[in-house]
Amino acid sequence: MPIFDDFDDDFDAVAERARDPDAGIRRVAMLGLAESVDPGAVDLLLVGLKDTDADVREAAAKALDEHAGLPAALGLIDALDDAAEAVRLAAAESLADKKEPASAPRLIARAQENTGPQSAFVRTAALRALRDMQDPAAMPVALAALTDPEIAVRREALGVLGYLKADAALPALLLAATDPEAAVRRAVMAALVFVKSGTAGVPALIAGLKDAHWQVREEAAFSIGKAKLPEAVDPLMRAANDDAWQVQAKAVNALGKLKARAAVPVVADALGHDLSNVRKEAAAALGEIADPSAVGALEAAFDDPDPDVRKLVRWALERCRAAA
């Protein structure tokens, strides 16, 4: 349903309401401009970002998420300094989706700010916005940010480095793997997804499977599976019995991606897990491995109470029987 279903919702009508003395009407106008394809919509939203009412500014920041182009990105970058937290958060959220290459120099500059009451927030938001751009010019800033006192800044810097997939960043990533904060170590595990078998990053990922925090172990298992590192089969089999079911699920998934035939007994045991999420991963992994030795375990799971598990069991059985 259009947001202006009670009156003409053409651009002129919306523009008029964007200038209404009533802040509530201006706010609704900002939200309506999110759907507008008129070239003047961005200009009105940029005006809305400077409205005297914080709710209007927040609505404008949210609506700009739907509009591409450098002016929208620059307006959101400036809104990171807004006096209202809700506006800053909305601006950062919309900015993260922009991926506007021309805004990278401004973002890089803001990622290095260390003065002002919101400087840490600005650095965090700028690095987050730079992540998906994969701009090599952001790498020196991201590397420097790995020593930032703010956890969120270090975490977002690792996101930038992970997306760049640059071997030159590997020494810094390995050093960050010892960070005292679990959120940062988890980001390191995600950033190391680009490592190749036999390289220096592999031991760090394997060590991540034994981290004190389950989310770090989970991320390590996921990255190992995505990177398909055969050196990690034995550690993954141990991780399949982790105390946290989330780690178990990712470890089993990774063993499937690696098509690790030696892991069939361990993965088959996971078919009897209390949680269907783990059983689904186990059935899918056995189908990926496609080893005939898994047929018996899959047949025993044929009547699993979860329909999604049953579907995956049938698919895995077909593959295992075909390989026999």
Domains in the chain, CATH or no CATH each: 1-95 (1.25.10.10), 99-164 (1.25.10.10), 259-324 (1.25.10.10)
pTM for the full model? 0.88
Place of tokens 């919309």: 94
Residues 6+ apart with CB under 8 A from 90: 58, 61, 62, 79
**Beta strands per DSSP E along 267-316:** none
Give the Cα separation of 319 and 41 in Å (integer).
Answer: 54
The token pair that represents 288 in the structure block? 């990926």
Place of tokens 């990533």: 173
Report the 10 Å Cβ neighbour count for 207. Answer: 17
Phi and psi angles of residue 153, each rounded to the nearest 5 degrees, phi first: -65, -45
Average pLDDT, the chain: 95
Q: Provide the pLDDT for residue 9.
A: 57
221, 191 contact by CB (below 8 A)? no
Give the Cα separation of 92 and 124 in Å (integer).
Answer: 9
Q: Any idea how long the chain is?
A: 324
Give 65-110 pLDDT, tens digit per residue.
Answer: 999 999 999 999 999 999 999 999 999 999 999 999 999 999 999 9
Provide mean pLDDT across the span 45-67.
97
Based on the number of CB atoms within 10 Å of its own CB, is 116 exposed (0-12), middle (13-18) or buried (19 or more)? exposed
What are the CA-CA distances from residue 81 to residues 68, 116, 183 (Å)? 21, 9, 25
What does the angle CA 174 – CA 179 – CA 180 come to, to the nearest 5 degrees?
A: 155
Q: Provide the pLDDT for residue 324.
A: 82
Give 227-267 pLDDT, tens digit per residue.
Answer: 999 999 999 999 999 999 999 999 999 999 999 999 999 99
Residues 6+ apart with CB under 8 A from 208: 177, 185, 188, 189, 216, 217, 219, 220, 223
pLDDT at 1 over 60: no
Give 69-79 pLDDT, tens digit per residue.
Answer: 999 999 999 99
pLDDT at 225 over 60: yes
CA nearest to 301, candidates 211, 278, 184, 166: 278
Place of tokens 């069991």: 313
